[in-house]
Amino acid sequence: MDSGRKSVAIVPALNEEAAVGGLISEIHEKAPGYDVLVVDDGSSDGTAAVARAAGAIVLSHPFNLGIGGAVQSGYRFAFLQGYDVAVQVDGDGQHDPSQLASLETALNDGEADMVWGSRFLEGAGYPVGSMRRVGQKLFAGLVSLITREAVTDPTSGFRMTNRRGIELFARDYPHDFPEVEAILMVHAHDMSLHEVPVTMRPRQHGNSSLAGYSAPYYMVRVLLAIFVGLFRRRPVPLPGDDWLATPPSKALEGTLP
């Protein structure tokens, strides 16, 4: 990692006290150049306390905002604190911090503004149910068609972006099913995309943020997000933008120097 750049791992977490401490320690060990920011999205357990004890910066939402709201809080923090690189890492431990180097190499060498790890590129062999796999292929085909990039895993949450992406997502980030729509936002802003193969681990603790959604419902909602994403294009914040003078949300108050 470029020692002159500030990098942060954004970890959205909801009731992940059993996994988050080990994940933070693993990031510190395998990617020592990264600060770790845990966004506790209204957990009812000890997620925030465990994260602080493990050495992470913690933002705590007073109630659950959902994955999109948690991730956007992380990007707002990263933007306001002047980070150059931000990577999203799931709080359940599915994302292996040892693979951050691969993402960063692609971010640098590929001159991409956002890169993400694919579970399906080059035969990574990630196990997924048949209905979900059909949905993944459908989403990948549509996103590839729209972006004119070969995309295999548009719903992967293991993604890294540079300062341009941080600015974009701090200003505006999709909420309900954000991964696919975020790719379309990057493309709409004429920013470059790149995918790299990764191996993801099975969830060990906690529940997925998609728990309770049936596969058909999930597919319909993501397809709707893709449709909406075709019409989303909002300006990246620039120096002098009124948003820069706006205080952070209540979730960020008291956490900034």
- Is 250 domain-assigned? no
pLDDT score, position 205: 55
What domain range is 84 assigned to? 7-245
pTM listed for this prediction: 0.84
Strands 85-88 and 159-161, sheet pairing: antiparallel
pLDDT score, position 220: 84
CATH number at residue 27: 3.90.550.10
* Number of separate domains in the chain: 1
Strands 159-161 and 114-118, sheet pairing: antiparallel
- Is 107 domain-assigned? yes
Structure tokens at 245: 């003078």
Residues with Cβ within 8 Å of residue 220, at least 6 apart in sequence = none
CB 204 within 8 A of CB 93: yes
- Is 166 domain-assigned? yes
- Is 225 domain-assigned? yes
- Is 146 domain-assigned? yes
Tens of each residue's pLDDT in the chain, 257 residues: 566 789 999 999 999 999 999 999 999 999 999 999 999 999 999 999 999 999 999 999 999 999 999 999 999 999 999 999 999 999 888 899 999 999 999 998 767 999 999 988 876 566 666 676 777 888 899 999 999 999 999 989 999 999 999 999 999 898 877 898 899 999 988 999 999 999 888 765 555 544 445 677 878 888 887 777 677 655 555 555 555 545 444 444 444 43
| Integer Cα distance of 175 and 55 in angstroms | 28
- Is 174 domain-assigned? yes
pLDDT score, position 124: 56
